[in-house]
Amino acid sequence: MRHWFTYIFSVCICFINGRMFSQNELYIKSVDQFYNNGALIYVNGEINNNNGLVTNNTTGIYTGIIELTGNWNNTITSANYVSTGIERFSGTANQLITGTWNGTSGNTNQFYNLKINKTTGYVSLAQDTYVNGAGAVAFESSGGIIRTATVSSSNTGDYTYILYVQNPSTAALTGYNFPSGTTKYIEGKLKRQVNSAGTYEFPVGFQPADKDGMEPYKIKFNSAPASTGIVGYIRPAATAAYFSDLITNGDILFYDIGAYISPNNNFSQCTGGADGHDDAAQINMALTHEWMVTPDAISSVDYDMTVFPGPLLDNISYAAIGSACNSLYTQAKYLARDGRIGGDQSVGPTTNFSFPGVTGLYQAPTGNTIKNQTGFSRFRLFGATDNNTTLPVELMQFAITAVNNQYFLLNWATASENNNAGFEVERCDDSLHFSKIGWVQGHGNSSMIERYQFDDKDVVVEKNYYYRLKQIDKEGKITYSRIVTSRLRGENIFSISPVYPNPVNDEASIDIYAPEPEIIKIEFIDILGQQMQQLEYQLSQGWNKIKLEAGSLAAGTYVLNFNYKEQQYTKRLVKK
């Protein structure tokens, strides 16, 4: 009896001001348990539960309510906290939840219906805190932030603990002002159980002084996922863009990009001639933070992801990129999963592609949403601050012709020019590494059709050559044309290779293909036009390797004239 009386006395001390209301019954069940069968108990202070606090009967028919303005410490010894009732945190002061709240024994030691009925202040967690799988979390008043730590962590939601809402209903979390607000949300980490098609909101964010308070996201499951818990929060970004360059839509100079890169033409509505818009952009801006979506386990899933950054977090002046072919291209922001624009739905190859001057993905702007994702991880917004839409040149054509199967003629034409300095002609023989082989002066400013051409005679047969134009304006801005390619046929065609090595110290070589035996004469001409050497060789049918002695030549540049069957070919030799 003495212990029973002491327990009653300690309980009565907790109920200051006599605020105890019961429509059913309220009694002490045993020395180790306080039993509330449907009463509303107002605690103007703290709850320290050491020996077991039960707010329901064994059938769960009746519901009890505990409302408190102070802290709640559930330091269990032999008994556990059990509830099918309501736990309401109220008042204006900060409150702390400590002890054991992770459902250590079945459905015990966890909240059942956690209510936040505050105008200001925090309800802070000193450990992982679970809410029953048949219960819910609700914000009932104008304020009250659930903080998953004992103190705020500056400018980050990557906190130590989690609030775990185990009820998989999409309506198990209510009362917050989605998608923005500074008073009712989870500062830190929220874990939600999911198992059905529908939309699950994650009202997570920072402390209000850092950014916008709530910086939430939502996941719309297009089909029911396997049951799993998903931890969501926002943190300083650690994921860079998968590629720094992005092709968006429309015409690259004169060529439809969808038709150029994809045989299926993913941008079929972007048709027509040159539109004067650059359709490649450098992704040079990103949010400082990224959203984390971490499931316990996941198998097959199909979902859409949408993020809702506030104006302080998302303060970038994004530039719209490319011409607006249709409504797909009215956005300027790109949501990426693991740094990949569009995630699983990025248009294009699974890795990357090489395009004139650009390596990246091609994708319509996604705004704050990407759809039909199949995996979870990190999500971050990217964009460009320079839309780069006014091209110095509208290129009408760029073509290559093999002249008499001996050399290549490049020709191109512009529909208009704006501040155009000219064109570097670039070539490579593996489609990856280009080098300059010539320069053609531009017309500056022109609204008329201007035509250009360039001969490349420093080529050999049976070898693929790739060419592109590097257009440079007078302020140094660069754009690239598409790539054209061709090769010379080697059957019975006279051909001379470039000089190698070049520059040379003493001896260089050159390869000559002769369709039949013939004599060839070679002249060394210096920069003054004077003949320095004259050589004569007997060529055999097929390939001939000829040594060129250069040791007696002075340092400088020489033109080699090859006279073969009343035709002349030239090569260049540089003596060190």
CATH code, domain with 480: 2.60.40.10
pLDDT digits (tens, 9 = 90+) for 489-500: 766 678 888 888
| Domain-located, residue 417 | yes
How many angstroms separate the Cα of 564 from the Cα of each of 22, 192, 407? 115, 82, 16
Q: What is the pLDDT of residues 139-189, one digit of tens each?
A: 999 999 999 999 998 878 779 999 999 999 999 999 999 999 999 999 999
Q: DSSP string of 31-45?
A: TTEEEEES-EEEESS
d(CA 232, CA 186): 10
Burial class from Cβ neighbours inside 10 Å (0-12, 13-18, 19+) for residue 507 reads exposed
Q: Are residues 173 and 33 in the same domain?
A: yes
Which range is least confidently modeled, 6-10, 471-475, 534-538, 566-570?
Answer: 6-10
For the chain, the distance separating the N- and C-terminal CA atoms, rounded to the nearest angstrom, is 111
**For the ranges 60-64, 327-331, 480-484, 553-557, the one whose mean pLDDT is highest:** 553-557
Per DSSP (E only), the strands in 308-434 are: 333-337, 340-341, 353-355, 358-362, 369-373, 378-383, 393-403, 407-428
What's the pLDDT at 30?
40
Of these ranges, 150-164, 222-236, 260-274, 349-363, the one predicted with the greatest mean pLDDT is: 222-236
The pair of structure tokens assigned to 375 is: 């995996």
Q: Name the one residue in this structure whose structure tokens are 């624009």.
A: 341
Instruction: Please tell me the total count of domains within the chain.
Output: 4
CATH code for the domain of 508:
2.60.40.2550
* Average pLDDT of the segment spanning 452-465: 88
Q: Are residues 422 and 500 in the same domain?
A: no
Full-model pTM: 0.61
CB 205 within 8 A of CB 213: yes
Among 187, 193, 185, 195, residue whose Cα is nearest residue 233: 187
Query: Stretch 242-269: mean pLDDT, rounded?
Result: 42
Pick the closest to residue 380 from 333, 412, 423, 420 (CA basis): 333
Verify that 263 and 211 share a domain, yes or no: no
CA distance 200 to 219: 5
- Contact at 8 Å (CB) between 388 and 332? no
* Structural domain contains residue 502: yes
CA–CA distance, 295 with 47 (Å, rounded to integer): 34
pLDDT of residue 41: 60
Q: What's the mean pLDDT in 206-222?
A: 93
**Arithmetic mean of pLDDT, 395-424:** 87
Residue 293 maps to a domain? no
Quote the CA–CA distance of 469 and 480 in Å, as a whole number.
6
Do the beta carbons of residue 178 and residue 160 sit within 8 Å?
no
Strand partners, 80: none
Tokens of 162: 């989690």
Residue range 463-479, pLDDT digits in tens: 888 898 999 988 887 87
- Give me the pLDDT at residue 281, please: 57
Whether 227 is covered by a domain: the verdict is yes
| Residues 408 and 274 reside in one and the same domain | no
In the prediction, which pLDDT does 339 show? 85
CA 66 to CA 45: how far, in whole Å? 12
Note whether residue 294 is domain-resident: no
Residue type at position 66:
I
Q: How confident is the model at residue 447 (pLDDT cuts 50, 70, 90)?
A: confident
User: Average of pLDDT values for 478-482?
Assistant: 78
Confidence of residue 190 (pLDDT cuts 50, 70, 90): very high
Q: Are residues 334 and 459 in the same domain?
A: no
* Shared domain check, 503 and 360: no
Domain boundary among 199, 216, 236: 236
- The CB density around residue 484, as the number of other CB atoms within 10 Å, is 17
- % residues pLDDT > 70 (the chain): 73
Answer with the one of 383, 401, 426 that is the final residue of a domain. 383
- Among 466, 486, 506, the domain boundary falls at 486
- Given CA atoms 304, 308, 313, 317 in this order, what sign does their dihedral have? positive
Domain assignment present for residue 388? The answer is: no
Sheet order of strands, 204-205 included: 47-49, 72-74, 95-99, 122-125, 145-147, 186-187, 204-205
| Domain range enclosing 43 | 2-236
Say which residues have a Cβ less than 8 Å from residue 171's Cβ, sequence separation at least 6. Answer: 136
Q: What is the pLDDT of residue 549?
A: 87
Residues 73 and 147 in one domain: yes
**pLDDT recorded at residue 92:** 92
Q: Is residue 267 located within the same domain as residue 309?
A: yes
549 inside domain: yes
Confidence of residue 292 (pLDDT cuts 50, 70, 90): very high
Indicate if 167 and 58 belong to the same structural domain.
yes
Q: Residue 171 falls within a domain, yes or no?
A: yes
* Tokens at 219, concatenated: 């996941």
| Token duo for residue 246 | 């992005």
113 and 185 inside one domain:
yes
pLDDT-derived band at 576, boundaries 50, 70, 90: confident
Q: Is there a single domain that holds both residue 88 and residue 230? A: yes
pLDDT at residue 128, rounded to an integer: 96
Which residue is associated with the tokens 């959203």? 291
Structure tokens at 118: 């505050």
pLDDT at 57: 45
Q: Which two tokens stand for residue 241?
A: 């863009």
361 in the same domain as 435: no
Phi-psi region of 338 (alpha: psi -120 to 50; beta: other; left: phi over 0): left
pLDDT at position 19, please? 35
